[in-house]
């Protein structure tokens, strides 16, 4: 009897099929914008991925946050990658990988 082999695809947070065909145009747009190079990418992530990140994003009361408070800033930062939950960690890893 033949066995079924489960094939799992690697997780990709970034929708490469959507963005790869327009990279040259986006690059040119980025460089041409003023007063400094910038670009806005609507729907940067797939809706499901963005929803999972929003659902799992650590609250300000969660452990691992560093608080920055100064006259010019009042923010939180989390530098320990191991503290990033599920999909958020995978997205951060992918966006910091050489694949992009």
Structure confidence at residue 76 as a pLDDT band (50, 70, 90): very high
Mind listing the pLDDT tens digit for each residue in 81-96?
889 988 999 999 888 8
Query: β-pairing, 73-77 with 66-70?
Result: antiparallel
Average per-residue pLDDT in the chain? 87
DSSP label at 83? G
Q: Given a cut of 90, is residue 11 above it in pLDDT?
A: no
Contact (CB, 8 A) for 53 and 37: no
Q: Given a cut of 60, is residue 1 above it in pLDDT?
A: no
Q: Residues near 20 by Cβ (< 8 Å), separated by ≥ 6? A: none
Look at residue 67 in the predicted model and tell me its pLDDT. 92
Look at residue 15 in the predicted model and tell me its pLDDT. 84
Contact (CB, 8 A) for 53 and 88: yes
Contact (CB, 8 A) for 72 and 41: no
């Amino acid at each position: 009897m033949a066995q079924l082999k489960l094939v799992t695809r690697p997780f990709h947070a970034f929708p490469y099929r959507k963005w790869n065909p327009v990279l040259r145009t986006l690059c040119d747009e980025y460089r041409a914008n003023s007063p400094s190079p910038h670009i806005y990418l609507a729907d940067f992530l797939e809706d499901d991925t963005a929803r999972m990140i929003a659902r799992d994003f650590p609250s300000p009361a969660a452990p691992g946050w560093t608080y920055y408070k100064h006259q010019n800033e009042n923010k939180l930062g989390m530098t320990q990658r191991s503290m990033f939950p599920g999909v958020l960690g995978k997205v951060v890893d992918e966006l910091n990988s050489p694949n992009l």
